Amino acid sequence: MQHESSNTKLLIEQCQQGNQLAEDQLFRLCYSQVAGICRRYSRSKEESEEMLNDCFFRMFKQLDKYDPSFDFSPWLRKLTVNCCLRYLQKYKGRLSFTEWNDDLIDGKFSENKLPEAKDLNYLDLLHGLPEACKTIINLFVIEGYKHHEIAEMLNISVGTSKSNLHRAKKLLYDMVERAGKGKLKLKSNHGR
């Protein structure tokens, strides 16, 4: 959803009134945004589809809570991220965070920049990270949340959020370096 329009707001109003044709149109309009977020948080195409279904179910169920005085896209993004996190915590129990010792983390990593990876697909790189590290990278670097917000969302300390971000970046830098030397084989689980 590149540009929010009055048509989007009209579709939302119609959906809130139970218009199924409008629901189908809104689904199609939002599909790529929601699917992209789900792919970043999932481990496989099947898991991504489960998250996607859950996100759209929740979107239509909670559409009456949307305030039309605000843009729809950020509301949908937040709902989708929360839905993906809920899925990881509830259905997979995969989010296990460790606060990494600072002496294990090299200080060369910028807080909000990822390593330059020419000819590499970042989604494939992200899927090579441990779940906790991948989640923090998604939330901090890609979604733009602050460490205190991430800590609150995931019920972890700010320090744990920061140390997992630094660990994720170190792992990404190592992956990019190994890929440059031909020692890293990336395999996508999303069947592009």
Same domain, 66 and 108: no
Same domain, 87 and 29: yes
pLDDT band at 183 (very low <50, low <70, confident <90, very high): low
Instruction: State pLDDT tens for residues 29-84.
Output: 999 999 999 999 998 899 999 999 999 999 999 999 999 889 999 999 999 999 99
> 141 in a domain, yes or no?
yes
pLDDT band at 122 (very low <50, low <70, confident <90, very high): confident
* Helix/strand/coil for 99: coil
> 185 in a domain, yes or no?
no
Of the residues 42, 71, 92, the one at which a domain ends: 92
CATH number at residue 161: 1.10.10.10
CATH number at residue 22: 1.10.1740.10
Same domain, 88 and 12: yes
Backbone torsions φ then ψ of 56, nearest 5 degrees: -70, -35
Record the pTM: 0.74
Instruction: State pLDDT tens for residues 80-113.
Output: 999 999 998 876 555 555 554 444 444 444 444 5
Instruction: State pLDDT tens for residues 152-166.
Output: 998 899 999 999 898
Distances (CA, A) of 172 to 125, 167, 189: 7, 9, 18
Backbone torsions φ then ψ of 78, nearest 5 degrees: -65, -45
> 191 in a domain, yes or no?
no
Under 8 Å CB-to-CB from 20, ≥6 apart: which residues?
A: none
| Of the candidates 6, 113, 23, the residue with the CA atom closest to the CA atom of residue 68 | 6
Domain hosting residue 82, numbered range: 6-92
The tokens for 93 are 């129990």
Of the residues 92, 118, 150, the one at which a domain ends: 92
Domain count, the chain: 2
Same domain, 38 and 85: yes
Of the residues 50, 69, 92, the one at which a domain ends: 92
